[in-house]
Amino acid sequence: MSRCSFLAHRIPGPKGYVRSVFSHARGPAEVHYYPPRSGKLPKDVLIFVPGNPGLVDYYIPFLLKLQSNIPPHFALLALSHIGHSPSLAHPPIPLNLNEQIEAKVEFVRLLQAQLNEARRAEETEARPVRLGFIGHSVGSEIIVQTMRHLERSDRDVKNVSGSAAVSDTNFDITASFLLFPTVSHIAETPNGRSLRPIFNPPLIQLLPLLCIIIQPLIWALRTVLSILPSSMSFPGLGSIYVPNATTLSFLSSPQTVKSVLHLARSEMSTIKAPDLNWYRQQRKRIWSYWGEPDGWVGTQGDVVKKVLRGGNGEGERVEEGHEEHAEQSGQVIDCVDNIPHAFCLAHSDAIADKVAGWISNAFGDRS
């Protein structure tokens, strides 16, 4: 169980999780493991994929709250993007979006194999571990593509074997939860258009150098942060982290900034027209939460929302016979609470409570 050694932990560490590292051929990725509260091997697993920057530290309050709300047989995993953790080695060349997806696919396959092996060793029940994905922002696109890769490989194995019996060694992907999803034409969103210069020469080369120049300021802010309360309240803004320790850590690493900028540039060129047929086929196991408004989604996400609600695509009405299901499923949710895209900075508890309810509905009460 060397590459998933965190599975041996039955209780969380002093911070509420077990920190580990996933070693991929392209570089290491930080893993936070929240063991089941039952103290046993997990029967179901939720894998969280962050946005960009892909530092899981941003989401610790959200993940801690979520783990306290879900059934005790669930394990929760958060996987950072390669090159986005300041404390880990950085790849010589920053990874693009497809390479980050490749790493997530490898992680899930490895987790599957090692968890099934551990469960067999303990002679637990034979049913496959049910899997749920949670993605924020571009993490939603990453898990959509990860699901597609896993489904294709599963079909290939079944076609070669000529039997569906091999599926009992695979994860049952029960549901995916997309939070503020950037899954369509991200370069054409309001933020994509306005920030485009940052992700192209010369700024994409200059900004990491700027981080070197402002290091004294960053260290001064980190010193101030160490003597201030972890959160402060401001009229009209609510509770926010000021300044944010994770952001200061991120800015103190020019290599991390370089990785974040290159991933963003790759998102702009890669995330184009979504495969609406795939969303149509998968909509019963996709739960999505959309900001209103959301500068990283804009009107580009509307076509995906229509399909998930039962429509065929842009400019088309909900299919006849699906209107009631679309209204009552509750799986496409428009935010009415004025929660921003970067919910993890100040609204972790609110989103965790919502996601916990969706998980309960998607997985049912079966343990």
Q: CB 286: neighbour CB atoms within 10 A?
A: 24
Range scoring the smallest mean pLDDT among 34-43, 84-93, 222-231, 295-304? 222-231
- Contact (CB, 8 A) for 303 and 185: no
Residue 364, token pair as written in the block: 């049912």
- Contact (CB, 8 A) for 260 and 90: no
As to burial, measured by CB atoms within 10 angstroms (0-12 exposed, 13-18 middle, 19+ buried), residue 334 is exposed
Mean pLDDT along residues 192-215: 86
Nearest partner of 263 among 5, 55, 43, judged by Cα: 55
pLDDT of residue 89: 96
Residue 293, preceding bond cis, omega within 30 degrees? Answer: yes
How many Å apart are CA 269 and CA 216, to the nearest integer?
A: 35
Nearest partner of 177 among 357, 366, 52, judged by Cα: 357
Q: Number of helices (H) and strands (E), helices first, in the chain?
A: 12, 10
pLDDT of residue 248: 83
Mean pLDDT for the chain? 84
pLDDT tier for residue 249 given thresholds of 50, 70 and 90: confident
pLDDT for 315 beyond 80:
no
Q: Order of strands across the sheet with 44-49?
A: 18-24, 27-34, 74-79, 44-49, 130-136, 172-179, 286-290, 332-334
pLDDT tier for residue 155 given thresholds of 50, 70 and 90: low
pLDDT for 87 beyond 90:
yes
pLDDT of residue 47: 98
Q: CB 216: neighbour CB atoms within 10 A?
A: 8
Q: Which residue has the higher pLDDT, 227 or 294?
A: 294
How many Å apart are CA 92 and CA 25, to the nearest integer?
A: 12
- Contact (CB, 8 A) for 353 and 69: yes
As to burial, measured by CB atoms within 10 angstroms (0-12 exposed, 13-18 middle, 19+ buried), residue 348 is buried
How many Å apart are CA 325 and CA 124, to the nearest integer?
A: 37
pLDDT for 316 beyond 90:
no
Mean pLDDT along residues 81-104: 97
Residue 268, token pair as written in the block: 């702009």
Which stretch, 30-44, 163-177, 301-315, has highest mean pLDDT? 30-44
CATH class given for the domain over 2-186+273-363: alpha beta
How many Å apart are CA 189 and CA 210, to the nearest integer?
A: 27
pLDDT for 165 beyond 50:
no
Query: The pTM is what?
Result: 0.87
pLDDT tier for residue 58 given thresholds of 50, 70 and 90: very high
- Contact (CB, 8 A) for 145 and 49: no
pLDDT in tens, 110-120: 998 888 788 77
Q: pLDDT > 70: what percent of the chain? A: 80
pLDDT for 334 beyond 90:
yes
- Contact (CB, 8 A) for 310 and 149: no
Mean pLDDT along residues 148-169: 62
pLDDT of residue 311: 82
pLDDT for 45 beyond 50:
yes
Q: pLDDT > 90: what percent of the chain? A: 62
Q: Three-state DSSP class for 14?
A: coil
pLDDT for 169 beyond 60:
no
Half-sphere exposure of 190 (CA within 13 A, CB side): 7
pLDDT tier for residue 65 given thresholds of 50, 70 and 90: very high
Type of residue found at 102: E
Mean pLDDT along residues 62-90: 97
pLDDT for 351 beyond 50:
yes
Type of residue found at 81: H
